[in-house]
Amino acid sequence: MFLFRKNRDENDDTGFTNELPGKNDNKVIGDGGTIQTKNPLTSKERLMNKQKIVEKVESYVYDLFKNDDTGHDYYHMKRVAYMARHIAESESADEFIAEVGGWLHDIGDKKLFKEPLLVKKDMYSFLERLNLTVEQLSQIEKAVSGVSFSGGQKPLSKEGEIVQDADRLDAIGALGIARTFAYGGSNQQLIHSDESKNTSIQHFYDKLLLLKDLINTDTAKKLAEERHQFMNLYLEQFYSEWNIN
């Protein structure tokens, strides 16, 4: 289990420790990074606190991604967060952790940030300033770990699997197609070529058409099937128009 570090080493790029101070449901990160015990909240207070935290996380993510032109913009994060919450509800998982993980899942991605480790450290510091329990901080860390396709890793929790599914759903179907060409254009990539495989169309075969069979949850599998079929129809139409002779 991973927890936010009370006194984080400046040279440590993870921000977490494996020290587990007993039951953490009523422990929060206080001033100076110390772990403090708080009085239990009522159900209504917990709900209101979660809503406020989500609003702060959304604002934080908006500032980071509002100008992105690669298909990894604020609206991608919003769709993944909302989809993660929907899947979590259907799969009886923690909706709050899944949604927050959805908002944060691309922070520190090497293809999006010049200094990913610094960006991740800033995210850890931001989360420590929120009114989260130590256990919630640990669960959020798990939810955003091992999500990316290129990393080839497996998520560390049910909520992590859900965030991964939500992210992969946004990579296929109509939105996935749009995002593929947005990313390709931002990286000076050809749409298609008879001589080169470094194209946006090739990305369908390298990644997008593989995702349907890599989905974790039953809820997401049903959604992925329709989006997968749409991509096949799109490619069929694309080639019919490309091969004009």
9 has a pLDDT exceeding 80: no
Minimum mean pLDDT among 46-50, 188-192, 208-212: which range? 46-50
Could you tell me how many helices (H) and strands (E) the chain has, helices first?
Answer: 9, 4
Which pLDDT value is given to residue 27?
A: 59
Q: Other CB atoms closer than 10 Å to residue 25's CB: what's the count?
A: 9
Q: Distances from the Cα of 97 to the Cαs of 47, 70, 101, in angstroms? A: 13, 26, 6
Task: Dump the DSSP string for 194-230.
Answer: SS-S-BHHHHHHHTGGGGGGG--SHHHHHHHHHHHHH
What would the pLDDT profile of 23-79 be if each residue is shown by its tens digit?
455 555 555 555 555 556 676 667 778 999 999 999 999 999 999 999 999 999 999
Which pLDDT value is given to residue 23?
A: 44
Contacts of 90 (CB under 8 A, 6+ apart): 217, 219
Question: 104 — alpha (psi -120 to 50), left (phi > 0) or beta?
Answer: alpha
Which pLDDT value is given to residue 244?
A: 80
Domains of the chain with CATH codes:
3-170 (1.10.472.50), 180-245 (1.20.58.1910)
What would the pLDDT profile of 213-241 be if each residue is shown by its tens digit?
999 999 999 999 999 999 999 999 999 99
Which pLDDT value is given to residue 88?
A: 98
Residue 176 is encoded by which pair of tokens? Answer: 């996935």
Cβ(182)–Cβ(69) under 8 Å? yes
151 has a pLDDT exceeding 60: yes
Q: Distances from the Cα of 7 to the Cαs of 20, 24, 128, 131, 219, in angstroms? A: 14, 17, 12, 18, 40
Residue 174: alpha-carbon gap to chain centroid? 19
pTM of the model: 0.82
122 has a pLDDT exceeding 60: yes
pLDDT band at 106 (very low <50, low <70, confident <90, very high): very high
Return the bridge partners of 166, or none.
none
Residue 199 is encoded by which pair of tokens? Answer: 């194209």
